[in-house]
Structure 1
Amino acid sequence: MTETAPAPLAAPARPSALREFFHYFAENRGAVFGMWIFAGFVFVAAFAPWIAPYGPAEQFRDHALTPPAWVEGGSWAFPLGTDPLGRDMLSRLLHGARYSFFVGVVVVTVSAAGGVLIGLISAFSPKWLDAAIMRVMDIILAFPSLLLALVLVAILGPSLTNAMIAIALVAQPHYVRLTRASALGELQKDYVTAARVVGARLPRLMFVTVLPNCLAPIIVQAALSFSTAILDAAALGFLGMGAQPPTPEWGTMLAEAREFILRAWWVVTFPGLAILITVLSINLMGDGLRDALDPKLKRS
């Protein structure tokens, strides 16, 4: 009677890419905390008209500069107080989240789309064109980003739309350099050579073969650019070159409240805290994305 050989043990199933991503992302507790704060920020931005107790421009002249509810002289009708024109601070902050989120989405979309396209063109171009593109990017990066955005807005005219255009143009070189470096690294690999051998055309090589393998650092850069866009838009608004009154944009709210900083601390404190918490949460989430997407940082 012959003995049968034991069946080989099945290899353990590899977790899906999404499950693996969340595993490494969840190891960074700061990133998880930032993600929940950012989710709250998105919820507030989406439902501000229904959450806010009043309209952002609604004025209560008899309650101008009313302190927050927990301060002596405050009223629970205005939990975070009112501004010099009697507008509810809570309502303006909630509606301001919509503008900040809109700025971040538009700036990241425009700058990433243009930067990735130019970066891929640079990586696949002849040396002279590649050098010309990168020298232009180096010139743009030589200027302080906020100063360059301020000059562009001064040329285009102060408005929220022009501020977003200026911030997107200033942020674009970062995507160009990042995409070019990632693409050049991928071009040396065997799968790109194999695609060329089988006759893949240039657009397919760029957008189907190479680009998907360059997305990890681009996603991290997009997350960090989101917070930078919000911060730059607030800075331009504070300088009077971004959103114009009575738009409830956080930087514009700070600019309107400058002269009342000593007698009504809440009109500058709450918009500043909104900017701080939002930018900090996005940066924390960006660190988690970097940890989860960069294979060099993953622990076995």
Structure 2
Amino acid sequence: MADASSQIASTVPTSRPGRLSEFWRYFKENRGAVIGLYIFAAFVLIALGADILAPYDPTAQNRAATLVPPVWQEGGSWSFPLGTDPLGRDMLSRLLHGARYSFFVGIVVVVVASFGGILIGLVAGFAPRWLDTIIMRLMDIILAFPSLLLALVLVAILGPSLTNAMIAIALVLQPHYVRLTRASVINERTKDYVTSARVAGAGRLRLMFITVLPNCLAPIIVQAALSFSTAILDAAALGFLGMGAQPPTPEWGTMLAEAREFILRAWWVVTFPGLAILVTVLAINLMGDGLRDALDPKLKRS
């Protein structure tokens, strides 16, 4: 009986690991992606808990403590571990609150750009040839302009503010989602499961949003991760040019703009916001590479 039971057990197929565990198995093979994920998680926690972590109000000025160096440099003070800016505002508090603004910018831009881009890409993928051609030529025209220059023009038209900067960046990034979604839709439309759904009587909207779209999400998720870092970088660039967040908003690009004339006298007022942008964008890009490796079946190693 024992031998028979063991034989039966050996013939029972083992269940495949869940999708999440399979995803994590491929994702963790990329050590850089795992490090990027941890840094991004810390970035999110800092953004959510900035009010608790920041020792001071990020806009509070202390005229008696202007350009105080970091604590490890001569003349530094433990009251201001990363020093102060030209108006006596605590650099640590402003950096922590700047993470919240950058995270907010990334979320809003990715949601707006991906929603509009996926919708237009689905329409283009299922539309008649003439409508598809018109849509894609419009996207090509937008992509022909340098992204930062086009965003700068849009913000100049709408008016300098963080909200208008987010709108402009989202519009500039949207064509990438349109092209990616359209290409995925066209690739999926010819497959048997779509033909079966059409024969079974599925309407066009059901084919678009229920049948095809879920199978196009893998490259879109990767694009969203990379767009998150692009949004942070472009928002910082617009803030540096005075077309994004306006003073005294503690946004990293605006902090760089306010401190550029003091770069030789007080290195910390420029270095710390620049490092914050560098580390955050690098971490998100590394995480995006890991997502690509884990979600793209062509890149998976057996």
TM-score, reference length from structure 1: 0.98
Q: CA deviation at 1:11?
A: 1.5
Secondary structure of the 1:82 match is: coil
- Residue of structure 1 equivalent to 2:140: 138
Match of residue 209, structure 1, among 189, 211, 218: 211
Q: CA deviation at 1:60?
A: 1.2
Deviations 1:59-113 (A, max 9, x none): 1111100000000000010000000000000000000001000000000000000
1:243 corresponding residue in structure 2: 245
1:275 matched residue in structure 2: 277
- Report Cα offsets for 1:125-169 as digits up to 9, x if no partner: 000000000000000000000000000000000000000000000
Amino acid in the other structure paired with 1:40: A
CA distance in 2, matches of 1:216, 1:260: 45
The amino acid of 2:70's aligned partner reads P
SS of the residue corresponding to residue 90 of structure 1 reads helix
The answer for the alignment partner of 1:20 in structure 2 is: 22
AA in 1 matched with 2:113: S
One of 93, 107, 110 as aligned partner of 2:109: 107
Answer yes or no: is 1:232 the counterpart of 2:234.
Answer: yes
In structure 2, distance between residues paired with 1:53 and 1:240:
27
1:221-253 per-residue CA deviation (whole Å, 9 max, x = no partner) reads 000000000000000000000000000000000
Report the equivalent of 1:161.
Answer: 163
In the alignment, the residues of structure 2 paired with residue 151 and residue 98 of structure 1 have an alpha-carbon distance, to the nearest angstrom, of: 26
**RMSD over aligned Cα atoms:** 1.2
CA shift digits 1:4-52 (9 cap, x unpaired): 8954611222111110000000111100000000000000000001100
Query: C-alpha separation between the residues in 2 aligned to 1:256 and 1:17?
Result: 47
- 1:184-242 C-alpha deviation (Å, 9 max, x unpaired): 00000000000000110111100000000000000000000000000000000000000
Paired with 1:298 and 1:240, the residues of 2 have a C-alpha distance of 44
The aligned runs of 1:49-88 (5 Å cut-off) are 49-88=51-90
* Alignment TM-score, normalising by the size of structure 2: 0.97
Which of residues 75, 96, 100 in structure 2 aligns to 1:94? 96
Residue 295 of structure 1 corresponds to: 297
Q: Distance in 2 between matches of 1:275 and 1:141?
A: 25
Structure 1 residue ranges (4+ consecutive) displaced by more than 3 angstroms after TM superposition: 4-8
Q: 1:44 aligns with which of 26, 46, 61?
A: 46
CA distance in 2: counterparts of 1:51 and 1:267, whole angstroms: 20
Name the CA distance, whole Å, in 2 between partners of 1:13 and 1:74: 60
Match of 1:118 in 2: 120
Alignment equivalent of 1:219, drawn from 221, 234, 242: 221
Residue in structure 1 matched with residue 256 of structure 2 by the alignment = 254
Q: For residues 13 and 101 of structure 1, what CA distance do their matches in structure 2 show?
A: 39
The one-letter code sitting in structure 2 at the alignment partner of 1:221 is Q
Unaligned runs of 5+ in 2: none
SS at match of 2:78: coil
Letter aligned with residue 241 of structure 1: M
Q: Distance in 1 between matches of 2:191 and 2:179?
A: 20
Give the partner amino acid of 1:202.
R
Aligned pair count reads 298
Task: Determine the C-alpha separation between the residues in 2 that align with 1:274 and 1:17.
Answer: 34
Q: How many Å separate the matches in 1 of 2:15 and 2:117?
A: 38
Give SS of 2:264's match: coil
Q: Match of 1:203, as an amino acid?
A: L
Q: Which amino acid in structure 2 is aligned with residue 286 of structure 1?
A: G
Q: 1:171-186 residue pairs with structure 2 within 5 A? A: 171-186=173-188
